[in-house]
Amino acid sequence: MTEPAGRERPLTVALVGNPNTGKSTLFTALAGIPTRIGNYPGVTVEEKVGRFSHCGRPIDLIDLPGAYSLRAQSPDEQVVSDVLGGRMAGVPRPDCIVAVVDATNLARNLFLASQALELGLPTVVALTLSDVAAERGIGIDVEALARRLGCAVVPVVAPTRVGIEALGDRLLSAPEALPPRPPDLAPHRAAIDGSRPASARDAIARYAWIDTVVAEVVQQAAPPRRRLADTIDRVLTHRVWGTLAFALVMLALFTSIFRLAAPAMDLISAGIDSVSAWAESILPAGPLRSLFVNGVLAGVGGVVVFVPQIALLFLFVATLEGCGYLARAAFLMDRLLAGVGLSGKSFIPLLSSFACAIPGIMAARTIENRRDRLLTILVAPLMSCSARLPVYLLFCGAFVPDIAVGVSWLRLPAVVLVAMYALGVVVAAAVAFVLSRTVFRGPPQPFVMELPGWRWPQPAVVLERVREAAWSFLTNAGTLILAMSIVLWALGSYPKPVFPDAPALAEAERQGEALRQSFLGRAGRVIEPVVKPLGWDWRLGCAALASFPAREVVLGTLGVIYNLGDVDPGEEEGASLLVRRLKAATWDGTTRKVFTLPVALSLMVFFALCAQCASTLVIIGKETGSWVWPVVTFTYMTALAWLAACATFQFGTALGW
């Protein structure tokens, strides 16, 4: 008698395959939602495991990253090779391999699959997209293929679960079956010049062997007609129409994260506000209420508010990836970005960063090449995000003279606003250019990218990507961002202020005094010599420091520090009040105005380039798996922001603006 099924050791099965082969769809069809998502030790390659049971036997399915070869060239491929070889710490050597082979692209998929057959592990080949192959007139003799590979071959159509049960049955019996027969490459290898590297000989011999397999098992019915997919492809990669379609898709993507996310974000803010109001009504005034309302609740709000943008962006990216357009977009933009040392795949993460760097940096997950990915993440925060816009709008409106530039309809404030956006792009290009030729210099990075065929995205896979992105943000980065906002709240609230003539002070003045006496306020005074060359007084330095949790709070902080109390600069009344107060502000003990045109410009330039956003730095740390990169980002961006702001102020003052 066998043991009761539940007590049996789970069978460990590794899912191996090329990218874009329907591997994720197969994973979802077999295991559903993953039970464990994390990173492999020491690398930022995602570890995804799903537990399911088949006929009562528990199975742990490891979804390995997509790879083209077991001769590892990237961290992803190294993980595949290490896990299959049983060399990955904390991961048991799989009992069995499922080699995913795309039936529409048999030859290239057999390259990796045949390497897997050489590992000596029981192997089952899952022939995915067999429905699409049949539509295209590609007939595959499954039995002949199984004979040639020496292992079971199961045709599957994962979205409709065709073949999924049969695949499960094969997995259970695989460990008892004979190990697969490694392909016989020797005769092919003998025909190749012996002086070439072993891996080159192996690749050429392997394809020669694959050609004999394909010739035996594939019957191409009629020569393929001009399929609809080919027509779509011709239009979407056309010089004019393709570029136009690309612009439209990107416009839709950008508008959706910029505008469509706004109602959800407003709803979250309103929800947090009402919880805050409720908490204020039931908690007695004091440090505990302040901690809960201004520290914890504000922190939670500051985390959750990013979720709509992240979810929308990943909905777009996963859909584009699923239908094959993501690779086309990278193809179209590659030349433009290659010039500064990036690649076409950097485009969507950078574009998204104009709405917010956080989803943008997360979208850089779609860049397989580690160097390109890191470089993209490092320059993404330079794109002017939506949090900078209120700062630009307020200062352009209040301090930039409304005069015409050349033609009557082109006003100077609008030109300055556009210039701020352009500044971020130009500096990002320069930084990427310099970094790719210094710190990240190395062997030329190949841009060898498959352009997958057009197909319908799988809703289950798309939704899983969205859920995973939002969840990993909330659990990994969210908790840290929350902790950081509580620390920053404490720095802005303690030590408690002492009021010499307490009763005489109005509430707004009390708030201002409290901030000035806090650690943050004192730090603002300490750094005054540093911000003076930028034309700032200590209050501005203080506001810049206090905006570290997120740039958008800088206007609110300015309100508090200039004794306006808690005004809402997002509302017209609050904004005009703030503008009047700022215009009236003078240097301590003098009648000299603080805010002049050069000061306003230097402040805007500083905010365009600085890294005053704790959440961005947290997400950089999480996405790169190292706290070195947030430190590097903060340092280089702050240095650039200071230099550029200083140059702006000094130059502007010298010109007598």
Partner 1 sequence: MRSLAHVGVGVTVSVVDVPGADPVSLRLLEMGLTPGVNVAVVAAAPLGDPLELELRGYRLSIRRREAALVTVAT
**Footprint on this chain of partner 1 (rule: CB under 8 A):** 68-69, 71, 73, 104-108, 111, 196-197, 199-200, 203-204, 207-208, 237, 239, 242-243, 327, 331-332, 334-336, 338, 344, 443-444, 446-453
Locate 612 and state its tokens: 């005053």
Report whether 202 contacts 189 (CB < 8 A). yes
Nearer to partner 1, 200 or 530 (CB): 200
Nearer to partner 1, 450 or 509 (CB): 450
The overall longest dimension of the chain from CA atoms, in Å, is: 97
Q: What are phi and psi of 138, to 5 degrees?
A: -90, 110
Minimum distance of partner 1 from residue 369's CB (angstroms) = 12
Nearer to partner 1, 89 or 448 (CB): 448
Nearer to partner 1, 244 or 404 (CB): 244
Nearer to partner 1, 219 or 408 (CB): 219
Minimum distance of partner 1 from residue 372's CB (angstroms) = 13
d(CA 312, CA 377): 19
**Residue for token pair 């809402």:** 568
- The residues pairing with 153 across neighbouring beta strands, listed in sequence order, are 125
Nearer to partner 1, 110 or 614 (CB): 110
Minimum distance of partner 1 from residue 15's CB (angstroms) = 20
Nearer to partner 1, 111 or 494 (CB): 111
Report whether 17 contacts 66 (CB < 8 A). yes
Q: Is the peptide bond before 503 cis (omega within 30 degrees of 0)?
A: no
3-state SS of 126-164 is EEECHHHHHHCCEEECHHHHHHHHCCEEEECEHHHCECH
3-state SS of 372-438 is HHHHHHHHHHHCCCCCCHHHHHHHHHHHCCCCEECEEEEEHHHHHHHHHHHHHHHHHHHHHHHHHHC
d(CA 96, CA 542): 60
Minimum distance of partner 1 from residue 458's CB (angstroms) = 20
Minimum distance of partner 1 from residue 104's CB (angstroms) = 7
Minimum distance of partner 1 from residue 552's CB (angstroms) = 36
Q: What are phi and psi of 52, to 5 degrees?
A: -145, 170
- In this structure, the chain runs to a length of 657
Minimum distance of partner 1 from residue 204's CB (angstroms) = 5
Nearer to partner 1, 31 or 330 (CB): 330
d(CA 213, CA 437): 45
Nearer to partner 1, 425 or 508 (CB): 425
Minimum distance of partner 1 from residue 473's CB (angstroms) = 31
Minimum distance of partner 1 from residue 562's CB (angstroms) = 50
CB-based contacts of 186, cutoff 8 Å, min separation 6? none
Cα 65 to chain centroid, rounded = 17
- Exposed, middle or buried by CB within 10 Å (0-12, 13-18, 19+), for 300? middle
